Structure 1
Amino acid sequence: MSIRLAHQTLLAIAFFGLACCLPAKEQSRSDLFQGVMEHSDDEMSRYRYLLTTLPQLSREDKAVALQFLAATENELGLYSEAVRDFPLRSQPMQRVDVPRASDWEAVDAVDAIVKLAGERRIVMVNEAHHDAHTRILTLALLPKLRAAGFNYFAAEALDGQDTDLSSRGFPVARSGSEYLHEPIYGDILREAIRLGFKIVPYETVGHAGQQREDGQAKNLYERVFAKDPEARLFVHAGYAHIDKARGRLGPVTPMAERLQQLTGIPPLSIDQTDIREDEPVSELDAATRAESEYITSNSLLSARATTRQLLGTPSQKTYQHPNLDIYEQILSHFHLDKPFVLRNRSSGAIWSARPKAYDVSVILPIGNNRMSSYAQGPVNLRLGDRRFAIMPPASAGERPKWLTLDGTRKPVPVSTQPCRSSIPCLVEAHYADEPDNAIAADRYVFVQDRQQNVLYLRPGRFRIRYVDADGHMLGELQTEVSD
């Protein structure tokens, strides 16, 4: 196994924490991991592998495969589908006093964080790896923090092998882990390079648990503060790596706490994953009904139901997850159509659900308001010489509006016509001056023929490519998006 493949496998295990604790035959789980990693560099190939492998897996391994599928869907621009297909939940919080509108107000998260960053030397923001909605905050913060004097940007998805990244100006498929293949992540790095940040890879290779946290902190210290004692560092990490106290990682001391010990600098830690829309309202009723109506004919639905049961969420009527309940309560009292934080009306303090672990809780608005309906039954997708029943597109195929990136990107119509009835069909837009192996500006997968949708693109010139499930290009066209 190559260093890169071992690194990717470790990232997958670290991301999919459930995979480490579900009972299953070790060889079966190992085969699944190996199969996924053999398709790690090609999302469409990995998508096909997972869809065709799911029906053959055990009950527990289906749940693990669904985690991989959700991450792959996210990389392919199927954002609502990714959140639907794996309702990943944070560790439940108990005895959290939900802020009341009489005492707190919702304010723009970017403005509040920039103000808090003031004299800080380290700012950390986390993400849920299968939900690109948790990446738009970092993208919006980059120019503000650069203007405030931050000069280093560290991204967990980078592996350090791409030494030409900064001089090239954009990431390519082999610049880091699979997370980086998702278009918003690609734009984060483009923007950081354009703004003049020094780009810092800090992920460890071949380690997990405490060794991984220690290695990440050590890399950040040695690559930033040991060389530049006056540095100001912005870190984009996953989940509880940004915590400044033990808890969400069990007995493991998180990376942020270890970095503070090494540098003596307390980071400003921003959480987006604890209180989020992990079970979309637009999906819950429709998907639950579909599970009961045609679950036996659909391996994806069967896997989804299994995952919900293994996570302790059998149905909407019999279970309320504490974190989701807090999210719903907050949205019922506070309304903002962009990432927001809660500020105390009297003291001006910013609310944190776990103040010992992180400084700020960022609340994202609902990702997609379009309700789903699966009354038509499953989509029968032909892959090779067989058909596989999969769930129809989430939210009736409508992509989330947050993809406009606060109006900086415009919807560009695309259809299946250039796919020539070869379904599934990937349509992706590349900046005209970047090669095909650059991370796409946006992408989407059609799973039904004779359909239309949109890509969200910035003003400029683009090359739109259509690719089949085997990676063969079906067509290409040029387009220009006006201001």
Structure 2
Amino acid sequence: MKPFYFTLVLMLAAPLAAEELSKEDYLKEVNKAFSKIYEATNGKTLSAQLVALEALSVEYKDNKPVSDLLLQERGTAYSLMGRHQQALHAFDQHDPNPDELNTAVKNLVTRDAVTAILDASADYQVVMINEAHHVPQHRVLTYRLLKGLWENGYRYLAFEALAPDAEQELTNNYVHKKAGFYTEEPLFANLVLYARDLGFKLISYDYGAEIGTGTEARERSAVKNLREKVFDNEPDAKMVIHVGYSHINEDGWLAHYLKEALQLDPLTVNQTDFTERSHKRHEPESYTWLIENHDFDTPVVLTNNDGVFWSPTPEEYDITVVWPRTEYSLNRPNWARLDKELIPVNLDWCELNFPCAVEVYRMGEEEEVPADRIIITESSTPIGIFISESSRLVKVTDSQGNLINTVTVPLKESD
């Protein structure tokens, strides 16, 4: 099921102008649109969902809260489709104005993020890393950190994205679609499988809260679940927690309540403040300045000249991570490769059925989240897919989900 509860909260938080509907009428209007979105997308393929969301965007173009919700839904759909640039563009229409330059960044030093975070993690019991849910790139940082975190004694990996007790149903071979919503994105599924391969015990903990009870109730419930599943029995356990957006905030969100309950200070890592956008004009000015004045091709952290981590809001989080602008090969982000082989899609696989979904599987099971996915909308643009020794079974389906082709792709012969 889509995370409609969370997007509804965003809509209800939008202020009403005096000339707009009363709160009661506004809620009726929102609920009506909410139901319509669900009916138009539930059970549909990603391609069909996108068509429905675009049609609804036209219908609700003059309704700002609903229009914003639809942009978020479209951006999320694009991220699940392997369309990074379009996902960024959808969210940039929702929030087009860049943050102003924080002049403090002019005096900072950059350092490789993986090395720096691993070095720091040795002195902590809990590391929290956030993501923007429409940016699968942020899952890659956690993926790159996992082996070193394991070597530093971390044994548990908690995911906000997992459905309640989904870890009990995960197999060693693939991630099933019911594991969660965001875990249906291939990079997230790869992250889950890699963690399992390394030996991490996966933990679900975020079961939401009743509408109207607020952030505190949700976060306290999450802490209760983490304590009951891990810390009550193993108080010294070392845990990585991968969350969305503000849950790393040590001044009122999950990090705060975890710190309060366990009497520990988590290492909090933020990837969502100084970020790439679909166009330079939407970028935070601090991000643009850093990109134009530093040379880096991997994610970096920001420190002062003494090597101390810098955060624009140190009371909220500890470490600021900055990714370079995305570079593409065969119209796929290079950061999405995960050491796999990139090969061009044979567009004949779609047999002129556009849009078509090209998905790469490990096992080919019906309920399996693919190891890679790209939705192809037309026949003229070259596009690639990522394959590996363990994932090279390709299934091609039309917009209604009907199977068009199945191909087992050979790997390149080694020299």
Q: Same fold (TM over 0.5)?
A: yes
CA deviation profile, 1:203-260 (whole Å, cap 9, x unmatched): 1234342211222222222222112112001000000100101xxxxxxx20110000
Q: 2:235 aligns with which of 197, 209, 229?
A: 229
One-letter amino acid of the structure 2 residue matched with residue 441 of structure 1: A
CA deviation profile, 1:153-179 (whole Å, cap 9, x unmatched): 0011101243544444432111112x1
Aligned to 1:11: 6
Tell me which moved more, 323-332 or 454-463.
454-463
Q: Taking every aligned residue pair, what percent have the same amino acid on both sides?
A: 24
Q: 1:43 aligns with which of 38, 46, 54?
A: 46
Aligned residue for 2:345, secondary structure, equals strand
Q: 1:78 aligns with which of 60, 76, 83?
A: 83
CA shift for structure 1 position 436: 3.3
Aligned to 2:30: 29
The answer to whether the Cα contact below 8 Å between 2:172 and 2:193 also exists between their aligned partners in 1 is: no
For the pair 1:209 / 2:221, whether they are aligned, the reply is no
Aligned residue for 1:361, secondary structure, equals strand
Distance 2:136 2:115 in 1: 21
Aligned residue for 1:26, secondary structure, equals helix
CA shift for structure 1 position 94: 7.2
One-letter amino acid of the structure 1 residue matched with residue 35 of structure 2: Q
Aligned residue for 1:402, secondary structure, equals helix
Q: Map 1:11-410; keep pairs closer than 5 Å.
A: 11-13=6-8, 17=10, 20-21=13-14, 25-38=26-39, 39-40=41-42, 42-59=45-62, 60=64, 61-87=66-92, 96-100=102-106, 104-177=108-181, 179-207=182-210, 208-245=214-251, 253-281=252-280, 316=281, 324-345=284-305, 347-368=306-327, 398-405=331-338, 408-410=339-341
One-letter amino acid of the structure 1 residue matched with residue 331 of structure 2: E
CA deviation profile, 1:402-439 (whole Å, cap 9, x unmatched): 2223xx122111133222222111111111x3413211
Going from structure 1 to structure 2, the CA distance change for 1:194 and 1:122 (only over 3 Å counts) comes to same
Distance 2:91 2:100 in 1: 23
Distance 1:369 1:360 in 2: 27
The answer to whether the Cα contact below 8 Å between 1:76 and 1:443 also exists between their aligned partners in 2 is: yes
Aligned residue for 2:392, secondary structure, equals strand
Unmatched runs of 5 consecutive residues or more in structure 1:
246-252, 282-315, 371-396
Aligned residue for 1:160, secondary structure, equals coil
The answer to whether the Cα contact below 8 Å between 1:412 and 1:454 also exists between their aligned partners in 2 is: yes
The answer to whether the Cα contact below 8 Å between 1:461 and 1:480 also exists between their aligned partners in 2 is: no
The answer to whether the Cα contact below 8 Å between 1:8 and 1:37 also exists between their aligned partners in 2 is: no
Aligned to 2:405: 475
CA shift for structure 1 position 265: 0.9
The answer to whether the Cα contact below 8 Å between 2:101 and 2:285 also exists between their aligned partners in 1 is: no
The answer to whether the Cα contact below 8 Å between 1:106 and 1:335 also exists between their aligned partners in 2 is: no
Tell me which moved more, 158-167 or 115-124.
158-167
CA deviation profile, 1:413-466 (whole Å, cap 9, x unmatched): 1133222222111111111x3413211111111111344310123344421111
CA deviation profile, 1:126-169 (whole Å, cap 9, x unmatched): 00001111111011111110111100000111012435444444
Going from structure 1 to structure 2, the CA distance change for 1:64 and 1:8 (only over 3 Å counts) comes to closer
Going from structure 1 to structure 2, the CA distance change for 1:54 and 1:94 (only over 3 Å counts) comes to closer
CA shift for structure 1 position 280: 2.8
The root-mean-square deviation of aligned C-alpha atoms, in Å, is 2.5
One-letter amino acid of the structure 2 residue matched with residue 277 of structure 1: E
Aligned residue for 1:129, secondary structure, equals coil
For the pair 1:420 / 2:390, whether they are aligned, the reply is no
Q: Map 1:433-448; keep pairs closer than 5 Å.
A: 433-448=363-378
Going from structure 1 to structure 2, the CA distance change for 1:163 and 1:430 (only over 3 Å counts) comes to same
Aligned residue for 2:358, secondary structure, equals strand
Paired positions, count: 397
The answer to whether the Cα contact below 8 Å between 1:152 and 1:198 also exists between their aligned partners in 2 is: yes
Going from structure 1 to structure 2, the CA distance change for 1:161 and 1:200 (only over 3 Å counts) comes to closer
CA deviation profile, 1:359-410 (whole Å, cap 9, x unmatched): 000001112479xxxxxxxxxxxxxxxxxxxxxxxxxx822222223xx122
One-letter amino acid of the structure 1 residue matched with residue 296 of structure 2: L
Unmatched runs of 5 consecutive residues or more in structure 2:
none
One-letter amino acid of the structure 2 residue matched with residue 430 of structure 1: Y
One-letter amino acid of the structure 2 residue matched with residue 398 of structure 1: N
Going from structure 1 to structure 2, the CA distance change for 1:409 and 1:98 (only over 3 Å counts) comes to farther
Going from structure 1 to structure 2, the CA distance change for 1:163 and 1:340 (only over 3 Å counts) comes to closer
CA deviation profile, 1:41-89 (whole Å, cap 9, x unmatched): 5433322321232222242233321110100110111111101122165
Distance 2:157 2:85 in 1: 28
The answer to whether the Cα contact below 8 Å between 1:80 and 1:399 also exists between their aligned partners in 2 is: no
Going from structure 1 to structure 2, the CA distance change for 1:35 and 1:162 (only over 3 Å counts) comes to farther
What TM-score, normalized to structure 2? 0.88
Distance 1:264 1:40 in 2: 42
One-letter amino acid of the structure 2 residue matched with residue 419 of structure 1: C
What TM-score, normalized to structure 1? 0.76
Aligned residue for 2:357, secondary structure, equals strand
Aligned residue for 1:428, secondary structure, equals strand
